[in-house]
Each structure stands twice: as C-alpha cells, then as structure tokens.
Structure 1
Amino acid sequence: MSPAFQSKLLLLGLPALLAIGLFMPDWAIFLGIISVAKGLVVLGLVLLWRTGLVSFGQGLFYGAGAYMVGILPQYVPITDAFLLVFISAAAAGILAFGLGFLLRRYREIFFAMLCLAFSMIFFGVLVKSESLGSTDGFNVVQTSYLGYVPEEPVEMQRILYATTAFIAWIACLFVNRYLDSTMGRLTRAIKDNELRVEYLGYSAKRAVHFKFVIAGILAGAGGALAAIAIGHVDPEMVWWIQSGEFVFVTILSGVGNVIAPLIGSVVFEILRTFAIEYAPQAWQFVVGGCLLAVIMFLPGGLWSLIERSKEGQDDGNSTR
C-alpha cells in the first residue's frame, strides 16, 4: 500500500472516529472507548511484532497506567483526564525503561516469557496489597476535561470517547512517523538480520529498548483511558489472560498499518460482546474459532483484506 494512501487514512482517522461517535448508541460509545483504549496497547505490540518480538506481558503496563489513574488523585489534586493519561503513560514508560535494560538482551520465547513473568509479579503484588484493594481493586474518581466536569453520565462518555479518539489519533501519527524514520526502519532489519544492523553501526539492543519503551507508554495510556471509562481498577487488568487478549487482537488485526490495531480491537470487542450475548456458554469457542479462521485464511490479519482490495483497484485502473 502506497505511503500516500496511508497518510490519507491517518488524516481522515480522527474525523471518521468522531463522526461515527455521533451516531453510536450509548452502549456502543462505552464499547468504542474500551476498543480504542486497548487498540493503543496493540499498537505498541505491532511495533514489537515488526521487530520480531512478542510480549505476553503488556498487561503489566496496561495495569500500571490504570492504577496510576486511581492512585494519583488520592495524593495530588489532579482530575483532568488529559493530564492523568499523560502521567500514567509516562509512569508506564519509566517502568518499561527500567525493565528494558534486562529484556533487550533476549529474543524469541525468552523475551515473551520474561515479559509474562514481570506481569505476573506485578499481579501478585496487587493481589497482596490491601491498601490497593487486593483482589477487589478500588474505584476511580470522576475526571474533568480541561476544567469542565460533565454532569450527565451520557455526556461524560461521549466526551471521553472524543478524548480517546484524539489520543489514539495522535499516537497513530507518532508511530507512523517513527516507522518512517531511520530508527523506525530498523524494525524490519532487526527482525531479518540483527547482526547486519550491528555491522551498520547501530545498536540493536538500544533500538529494541526504545521500541519497548514506546510500547509501554502506549499501553499505559490505554490502561489509563480504560480505567477512566470503567471507573474501577483491579488486578484482573494485569492478569495473563488480559495480556493474551492483546496478542490475540494483534494476530486478528495484522501489522500492516498503524490503523490496523484499532480496527482489530473494535472487531474483537464486538465479536466478544455478541458471542457472550447469544452464546454465553460457548463464547470462548466462538472467539477461538474466529482466531483459527484468521490464522488459516488471513495470515496477514484483517488489514490484509484492505490491502487486497486496494491492490485490486490499482490493478483495475492500470488495465483501463
């Protein structure tokens, strides 16, 4: 897919998300917020995936961002959603920076399992901490938006949806710009032949470290937005099933474009919601079957459908 077409999609992304939100029912607004928030986590996974790395522990940074939203207002008089998301993302990024000194040395299954191990350690700390609500967690204070405090729940959700869409749009623009930079292009090179990257004078470990920090920041922002939307945080946000869900969505969406994680996350949440509604005893079977179908028939994820349709249009135009 041409860079020009990708740029058009990114520029139209925010207006499209906001326009869709105007016509969505109230229940779908909440679903959209959660989908886009988790899509931010998957966007970071896409960055790692392109480097040849898979993390089964992104729930660590997702949960860290969520808990920061709940803890910070208890000690500091901050309720602005934008500021809370920024601080939460920064805190998750600092955590990823510290862990990155160890994780950047490992590849393949060792990297994936170490990420999972740190996530489960954090889960254990949260479960054992009575001051943080233990297994029950605790509620999040109501947030404001640049000084404005919505009075109605419906109004609050729609403002939060617009905020989430804006933050996700900025994140997609940043990651797309980063992938077009010299350091961003090293993602493919590290995956294909890390030794050659070293011969070119670049440090593969530093590049992996930097990408891991970006993924942590995105996951922290996603966790913060999800915590604000749900109004509650608990250790389940860090549990390995949550991290596995992010990997699931990455496979479902594909890694061909920075918009793919948002599309895949929305599709996954809709699929799971309706599967639980109409097949509550077998919804895992339905979701797992869909994943299996994607792996077998769409190894490039849902985004490959868009690429195929665009290539078909280009071929049709070239034959005229």
Structure 2
Amino acid sequence: MSPAFRSNLLQIGLPVILALGLFMPDWAIFLGIISLAKGLVVLGLMLLWRTGLVSFGQGLFYGAGAYMVGILPQYLPITDALLLVLISAVAAGFLAFALGFLLRRYREIFFAMLCLAFSMIFFGILVKSESLGSTDGFNVVETSYLGFVPEEPIVMQRMLYITAAVVAWFACLFVNRYLGSTMGRLSRAIKDNELRVEYLGFSAKRAVHFKIVIAGTMAGAGGALAAIAIGHVDPEMVWWIQSGEFVFVTILSGVGNVIAPLLGSVVFEILRTFAIEYAPQAWQFVVGGCLLAVIMFLPGGLWSLIERSKEGKDDGNSSR
C-alpha cells in the first residue's frame, strides 16, 4: 500500500471519527470509546508484532493506566480527562521502560510468557491490596473537560468520545511517522535476522526496548480512557484473559497499517456485543469461530481485504 494512500487515510481519519460521533446512538458512543481505548493497546502490540514479538501481558500496562486514573485524583486536584490520560500514559511508559531492561533480552515464547508473568504479579498485588478495593476495585471520580463538567451523562460520554478520538488519532500519526523512520524500519530486519542488524551498527535490544516503551505507553492511555468511560477499575483489567483479548484483536485486524488496530477493535467490540445479545450462551463460540475463519481465510487480518481492494483498483487502472 502506497505511503500516499496511508497518509490520506490518516488525514481524513479524525474528521470521519468525529462526524460519526454526531450521529451514533447513545449505546454506540460508549462502544466507540471502548473500541478506541482498546485499539490503542492493539496499536502498540502491532509494533511488537512487526518485530516478531507477541506479548500476553499488555493487560499490565492497560491496568496500570486505568488504576492511575482512579488513584491520582484522590491525592492531586486533577480531574481533566485529557490530562489524566496523558499522565497515565506516561506512568505506564515508565513502567514499561523499567521492565524493558529485562524483557528486551528475550524473544519468541520466552518474551510472551515473561510479559504474562509480570502481568499476573501485578494482578496478585491488586487482589491483595485492600486499599485499592481488592477484587472489587473502586469507582473513578467524575472527570472534567478543559474545565467544563457536563451535567448530562450523554454529553459527558460524547466529550470523552472526542477525547478518545483525538488521542487515538495522534497516536496513529506518531506510530506512522515512527514506522517511516530508520528505527521503525528495523522491525522487519530484527524479526528476520537480529544478528545482521547488529552488524549494521544498530542495537537490536535498544530498538526492542523502545518499542516496548511505546506499546506500554499506548496501553496505559487506552486503560485510562476505558476507566473513565466505565467509571470503575478492578483487577480484571489486568487478568490474562484481557491480555489475550488484545492479541485476538491484533490477529483479527492485521498489522498492515496503523488504522488497522482501530478498525479491528471496532469490529471485535461490535461482534462481541451482538453475539452476547443474540447468543448469550454461545457467544464465545461465535467469536472464536470468527477468529478461526480469519486465520484460515485472511491470514493478513481484516486489513488485507482493504489492501486487496486497493491493489485490484490499481491493476484495473494500469490495464486501461
């Protein structure tokens, strides 16, 4: 897919998302916020995936961002949603930076399991901490938006939707710019032959470390948005099933474009919502069946459909 096409998608992305927010029903607004929040986590996973790394522990940073939103207003007079998201993202990024010194040494299944281990350690700490609500968690304080506190719940949701859209759009711009840089282009090289990267004079471990930090930062931002939208945080946000869900969406969406994680997250949330609504006793079967279908018929994820469509149009134009 050409860089010009990717650039055009990013340019129209934010206006389209914001315009959709004006016409979506109330229930869809909440679904959109959660989709954008989890799409940020998957966007970070996409960076690791392109490097040949799979993390089953992104719930650690997702939960860290969520709990930061709940804890911070209790000690500091900070209620602005955008500021809370930014601080939570930075906090999760610092956590990823600290753990990255160990994680960057491992590859393949060892990397995945080590990420999972750290996530489960954090889960155990939260469950045992009565001051953090133990297994029940605790509620998040009401947030403001540039000093404005909406009185009606739907207005507050739409304001949060706008905040989530802006954060997701800037995250996509950053990742797109990063993938076009020298460090970003090393992803495929590290995946194929890490030793050759070292011979070229680049440090593969440092490159992996930086990607871990980016992925952790975005997961923290996603967790913060989800916590504000739900109004509650609990240890289930760190549980391994949550991390597995992020991997599921990464496979579903594909890694061909920075827009893919957001689209895949929207599709997954819609699929799960309607599966629970119409098949509450078998919704896991429906979702799992869809994943198997994607793996069998679309190994490149849902985004490969858009790539095929674009290539078909280019071939048609060139044949004229």
Give TM-score, length-normalised by structure 2: 1.00
Matches within 5 A, 1:1-320: 1-320=1-320
Distance in 2, matches of 1:30 and 1:82, equals 17
Aligned-residue RMSD, C-alpha: 0.4
Paired residues in the alignment total 320
Q: What letter corresponds to residue 306 of structure 1 in structure 2? A: I
Distance in 1, matches of 2:164 and 2:86, equals 12
How far is 1:237 from its partner? 0.2
Unaligned runs of 5+ in 1: none
Distance in 2, matches of 1:145 and 1:57, equals 31
What secondary structure does 2:84 align onto? helix
Distance in 2, matches of 1:241 and 1:124, equals 14
Distance in 1, matches of 2:319 and 2:183, equals 38
Distance in 2, matches of 1:196 and 1:176, equals 25
Distance in 2, matches of 1:314 and 1:64, equals 45
Q: What letter corresponds to residue 296 of structure 1 in structure 2? A: M
Distance in 1, matches of 2:97 and 2:223, equals 17
Distance in 1, matches of 2:151 and 2:75, equals 24
How far is 1:246 from its partner? 0.1
How far is 1:238 from its partner? 0.2
How far is 1:106 from its partner? 0.1
Distance in 1, matches of 2:5 and 2:256, equals 13
Unaligned runs of 5+ in 2: none
How far is 1:65 from its partner? 0.0
Q: What letter corresponds to residue 103 of structure 2 in structure 1? A: L
Q: What letter corresponds to residue 14 of structure 1 in structure 2? A: L
How far is 1:255 from its partner? 0.2
How far is 1:292 from its partner? 0.1
Q: What letter corresponds to residue 238 of structure 1 in structure 2? A: V
Q: Deviations over 1:12-49 (max 9, x none)?
A: 00000001111100000000000010000000000000
Q: Deviations over 1:267-308 (max 9, x none)?
A: 000000000000000000000000000000000000000000
Distance in 1, matches of 2:18 and 2:72, equals 29
Distance in 2, matches of 1:118 and 1:200, equals 33
Runs of 4+ aligned residues of structure 1 deviating over 6 Å after TM superposition are none
Distance in 1, matches of 2:159 and 2:67, equals 21
Q: What letter corresponds to residue 140 of structure 1 in structure 2? A: V
What secondary structure does 1:167 align onto? helix
Identity %: 89
Q: Deviations over 1:205-264 (max 9, x none)?
A: 000000000000000000000000000000000000000000000000000000000000
Distance in 2, matches of 1:161 and 1:314, equals 35
Distance in 1, matches of 2:144 and 2:295, equals 42
Give TM-score, length-normalised by structure 1: 1.00
